[in-house]
Amino acid sequence: MFRIIEASEAVKLIPDGAVIGLNSFVGLANPEAIHTAITESFRSTGHPRDLTLISSAGFGLFDPDRAAEPYIREGAVKKIICGHFGAMPSTKKLVLEDRFEAYNLPLGPMSHAMRAQAGGHKGYLSRIGLGLFVDPRIEGPGLNNLSKDTELVQLTEFDGEEYLKYVLPDFNIAIIKGSSVDAYGNISFEDEYCTIDALSIAQFTKRNKGKVLVQVDRVRHDFSRPRDVIIPAAFVDAVVVAEPKGSNQSSGTMSGDLHVPSSHMDYWYRRLDRENAGSSKQRGDDSADIIGRRAAKELKKGDIVNIGFGIPEKVSKYAAAGGILQDLTLTVESGGIGGLPAGGSAFGAMIGAGSICDMGSQFDFYDGGGLDICFMGALEMDRFGNVNAHRGVDQVAGIGGFGNITSATRNVIFCLTTSTKGLNVTEEDGSIHINSEGSISKIVDKVRSISFSGPRAVENGQRVLYITERGVLELRPEGLTLVEVYPGVDIKKDIVDRIPFEIKLALKASQQTGRY
């Protein structure tokens, strides 16, 4: 029978050494009141300690002093297994200081492993991750010198084919953020942007005789419609009611209360673009817009699409400007289908979604090749067409859903600049002017870590383009091929001489001189 208790009481249900399943999506659906209570308890008593935190989509609020970051920093955690570290600014730095064990697994296999293990299976078999950093033959999932766990990802064979077997530790605590609890104890998510892995985490925890702790915004005194219940009362041990401070995390356009017709999507894109202005553009630099406009030309009416974070978000801008946005079905990893993905700290939310499903179901669709096209960013690419999108020089963001999306989508479009740190490119009258080169090249001989495997993409027959601010490269069986150069760009000086390996050329005269 569930109980409504204070957050400080809920923390007493968490034993030392607990393995905690966290249901969050980057900066969304974080049960902040429970995290804060854990921090306060650890500071005053030293408990709970030696915690293992597991989250397929990552957690955090982009603030080192909120959510789980304080108690992670202060030593309560011994291990983190996570799909993405991007919303945890202090934690992702501590990872590389060997402060605790840290592992990065692709988001989709983590979500599917939770669901499979909740059903009593010994793990989850997937081809996602083969040839990537997580493959034990390449690096494995460990992110630092402490991270030696070889059970999380294992190479195996089934029916004559290679697979990776993903196995998560058994959860004995679940911490979940919902919207309301009804008179029976059922949990609904009516104000949340997404449900993520909530049901799988609760089921996995109960299978292991653990405790499910749920933070909600309110108590309802009526009864939820059965179809609206995400976590049944039978799975819930304790509920913490924490009324949102100020405006709710969710807004009606993102939680589904308000319908946004396709004819209004252009308005909403312009509004989001103003709110996120400057996030992917250096002062006076047109690179992101040049890339986004060219990439948007790859879209066709009726396409089902995933658009990544950063420069790829410009694709939506030019899809709107070109009048095709309302003829596309956009999706986001967290489960939204239809509508317009939000960016920034609301990444994972969707304005005017047609439907929002559990994340595991979304990745069923992605892994089955359901997307027609995707647009992804990249930290660097190499001679084999491999892409690193998850690990920089001095920090790790994590692969998130990138590995699933790029492994199975028919048309994969990478949006990246040729260099960074000082690059300044402008466009005047349809001609590109490279005013200054960046000090760090993003086209390298060998990527630091592999988020996307070029050789496997060729083997799978995928079409892969790398769209930059000065031209377009295509991954072909014979190698990387320059297929388009923008007006004003010097092929040798601005492209060929900037690439530390030989590329093929397949240019038409019109591609070198025509407008785009």
Residue 81: CB atoms within 10 Å: 23
Q: Which of 69, 101, 313, 333 is catalytic?
A: 333
Share of the chain residues as helix, strand and coil, in percent rounded to the nearest 5: 25, 25, 45
Reply yes or no: is the peptide bond before residue 477 cis, omega within 30 of 0. no
User: What is the DSSP annotation of 15-65?
Assistant: -TT-EEEEE-BTTBS--HHHHHHHHHHHHHH--S-SEEEEESB----S-TT
The terminus-to-terminus CA distance of the chain in angstroms comes to 64
CA distance 54 to 149: 14
User: Residue 399 is encoded by which pair of tokens?
Assistant: 């692969």
101 is catalytic: no
Q: Which two tokens stand for residue 319?
A: 């899809």
CA 139 – CA 132 distance, rounded (Å)? 8
| Beta-ladder partners of 329 | 304
User: Residue 483 belongs to what H/E stretch?
Assistant: strand 479-485
The neighbouring-strand residues paired with 376 are 414
CB atoms within 10 A of CB 247: 7
What backbone torsions phi and psi does residue 448 show, to the nearest 5 degrees? -65, -40
SS3 70: helix
Residues 476, 243: Cα–Cα separation, whole Å? 55
Are 438 and 420 contacting, i.e. CB atoms less than 8 angstroms apart? Answer: yes
CB 179 within 8 A of CB 189: yes
Peptide bond connecting 48 to the previous residue in cis, omega within 30 degrees of 0: yes
Nearest partner of 297 among 279, 272, 323, judged by Cα? 323
Q: Which residues are catalytic?
A: 333
